Each structure stands twice: as C-alpha cells, then as structure tokens.
C-alpha cells in the first residue's frame, strides 16, 4: 500500500491511498456555490472539467483552512467521481505493509472520520475514510432498480447468505441496504483478517463453507488484511477455494484488474452502482438455485 501523506491545520500526518490520487495542484481559483455544505469551499476548473473542492480539515471537524490559495488540492477519484481535497501541505509518499495498518482505536467513536491508523518513524499516521467524508458533504443513496428484482428472486433470495467485508461504515451500510432489497441474508465484518479467521473457524467446525455462503463481497483497502490477501488465502485453501469472491472497491484501473486475476477473485466491481452489484448477486442466486439466466 502506498500512502500519500499530508497535513491539515497542525502537525498531524494524514494519509490516503496513492492509487486514488490523480494529481496534486496548487489550489486554483475557487468559485463559490450556493446551497452547498460549508466544507465545500467551491468549484475549480481543472484541465477539461470542473470539480468540487472540499476543505478536508472542515470535513473532519477542524477549523476551516485560511487563505486556500496558498495551499494545495489533492485531486482524487472515488466511487467513479472526481473531487478535490484542500490540504495545507503535502508531505511525501510512503510504502506501508497492510499488516502494519490497524483499525482506529475503539474509543474514536462512530463519528470518527478515520478508517485506519499506522506508524512511520514513531509518528502516528491517521488514514482518512474518504468515502465517509464524501457521503457527508455530497450524500448519495442508490436503490436497486425494480425491474431487476423479480418476484421469483425475492422469493428464493432469503435462503442464501452472503459474507460482506468492508472497513468503511458508509460503504458497508450502502451494500447492506442493497442486499436487503434483494432479500438475501448477510453477515458483515470489518477487515480481511477477521473474515479469514471467521471462515477458517467455520471450516474447523466441520462445516462446508461454500454451502454456508453464496458468495463473499469484499472491499480491497482494509486494515490488518486487504481484500487481495484475503482472496489469495481463500483460493489457496482447499476447504475454502470454491467460495465465490467479488472484490468491490473505490479503487479502479488496470492495476486492480491485474491483481484481481492474480489472486483468483471471481468478480471485480468499482464502487458504486447498486444495479451492477445486484446483477452479480442475482446471477449467483440463479446459478445456486438452478434457474436459467436471463
């Protein structure tokens, strides 16, 4: 995992995944937008498009950054959308082993905007849950289209069970909502290590895991163990290898497609399209139930 490190109002270092960063630019001229949340400092023309610029300090409940024209904008792509984050300064890019990335302290609370923490040179790095920030300043909610959810699927879906693995509470709740719309049952966990131990314990109890779960839907970026490593362990374990794995991530691009094939995942979907996700789930339901695919 490569992290881009940056600072906001103080000396604390924060990080986001480099693969989500398109470019870093001096803050361009911002045009104010009416009816936007205060965290959105304005819109900027970047190359051939217009993006919203979010004051990342304000978004995590810090004071607004003064004189934005003296700061920097990190242009990112999350969930198929491009946005900019205003930061005071960019520090550097570092390589971090996923095993060195840990969940935030339990005392940080449900309102925390951290998705993980790590240490570098004895300094704490706080990794920001960007999906939660985007949802707070530009909320979106998708439902599964009614034409996809046939009565036949709604009747048989409750007999199937899906394991969902995602460290972001916002992303997890969105997937849970859409799975609930299909009627399928689900169990939610928050990182790859937790999921692997859960599956291995189930297998040790003598259960055939592929009979217990229709499929696994897993995020890629997670503390303790990422989705690639989780998938690789599943596919290399003779007792788990038949599990269908869908990797579901706000990361996109050729790199991910290559890694998905390398670790043996059955599907990859970029977040977030409710209908795309539902179509894969329904395809697996039909296959398990012996129904014809439309």
- For 201-221, b/e burial (b = at least 16 CB within 10 A) is ebbeeeeebbeebbbbbbbbb
Q: What per-residue confidence (pLDDT) applies to 107?
A: 66
* 79 vs 50: CA distance, rounded Å: 17
0.85 exceeded by pTM: no
Helix-strand-coil split of the chain, %, nearest 5: 35, 30, 35
Each residue's pLDDT, cut to its tens digit, for the chain (294 residues) gives 889 999 998 899 999 988 889 899 999 999 987 777 889 999 998 887 889 999 999 999 999 999 999 999 999 988 778 899 999 999 999 999 888 999 888 766 666 788 899 999 889 999 998 888 888 877 666 889 988 999 999 999 999 999 999 998 888 999 999 999 999 999 999 999 999 999 999 999 999 999 999 999 999 988 889 999 999 999 999 999 999 999 998 766 555 677 888 899 999 998 888 999 999 999 999 999 887 655
* 141 vs 179: CA distance, rounded Å: 14
């Amino acid at each position: 995992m490569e992290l881009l490190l940056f600072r906001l109002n103080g000396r604390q270092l924060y990080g986001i995944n480099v693969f989500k960063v398109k470019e870093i630019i001096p803050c361009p001229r911002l045009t104010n937008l009416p009816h936007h949340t205060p965290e959105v400092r304005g819109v900027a023309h970047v190359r051939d498009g217009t993006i919203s610029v979010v004051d990342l300090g304000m978004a995590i409940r810090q004071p607004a950054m003064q004189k934005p024209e003296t700061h920097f904008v990190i242009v990112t792509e999350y969930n198929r959308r491009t946005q900019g984050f205003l930061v005071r300064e960019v520090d550097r890019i570092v390589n971090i082993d996923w095993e060195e990335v840990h969940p935030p302290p339990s005392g940080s609370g449900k309102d925390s905007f951290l998705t993980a923490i790590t240490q570098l040179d004895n300094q704490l790095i706080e990794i920001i849950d960007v999906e939660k920030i985007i949802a707070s300043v530009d909320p979106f909610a998708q439902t599964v289209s009614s034409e996809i959810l046939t009565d036949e699927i709604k009747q048989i879906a409750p007999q199937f069970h899906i394991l969902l693995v995602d460290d972001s509470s916002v992303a997890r709740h969105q997937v849970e909502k859409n799975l609930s719309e299909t009627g399928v049952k689900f169990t939610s966990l928050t990182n790859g290590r937790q999921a692997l131990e859960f599956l291995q314990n189930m297998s040790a109890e003598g259960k055939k895991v592929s009979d217990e779960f229709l499929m696994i839907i897993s995020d890629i970026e997670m503390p303790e163990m990422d989705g690639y490593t989780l998938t690789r362990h599943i596919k290399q374990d003779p007792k788990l290898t038949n599990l269908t794995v869908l990797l579901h991530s706000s990361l996109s691009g050729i790199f991910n497609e290559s890694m998905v094939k390398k670790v043996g995942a059955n599907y990859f979907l970029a977040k977030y399209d409710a209908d795309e996700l539902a179509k894969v789930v329904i395809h697996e339901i039909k296959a398990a139930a012996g129904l014809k695919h439309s």
